[in-house]
């Protein structure tokens, strides 16, 4: 599991159960996407919960899940740099 610590001390990660996150403090889990099939069995990853678009179609659910994780790593896991001059770098 990759943990990213922001300048204000928040920890971000793509959740899995390999580490008990409560050992780091209070935990807030937020849905990153919705992976669902359409009426003909094609799979899509809807990234709108984190400001992204709809990925797909994919022939298999596992393909949509892999695309979901890749998108979250590339676009959400590391937050954009802050313009706050008081933040630590």
As for how many domains the chain has, the answer is 1
Is 9 within a domain?
no
Range of the domain at 43: 31-79
Residue range 23-34: mean pLDDT, rounded: 90
Please give the Cα distance from 10 to 33 (Å, whole number).
21
Q: pLDDT category, 16, cuts 50, 70, 90?
A: confident
pTM of the model: 0.79
Is 6 within a domain?
no
Q: Are 6 and 73 in contact (CB under 8 A)?
A: no
Is 16 within a domain?
no
Is 4 within a domain?
no
Is 54 within a domain?
yes
Q: Are 12 and 6 in contact (CB under 8 A)?
A: yes
Is 66 within a domain?
yes
Residue 84's pLDDT is what?
Answer: 52
């Amino acid at each position: 599991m990759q943990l990213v610590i922001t300048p204000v001390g928040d920890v971000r990660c793509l959740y899995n159960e390999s580490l008990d996150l409560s050992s780091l403090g209070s935990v807030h889990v937020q849905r990153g996407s919705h992976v669902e099939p359409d009426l003909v069995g094609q799979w899509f990853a809807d990234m709108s919960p984190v400001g992204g678009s709809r990925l797909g179609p994919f022939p298999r659910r596992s393909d949509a899940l892999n695309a979901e994780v890749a998108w979250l790593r590339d676009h959400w896991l590391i937050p954009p740099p802050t313009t706050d001059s008081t933040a630590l770098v």
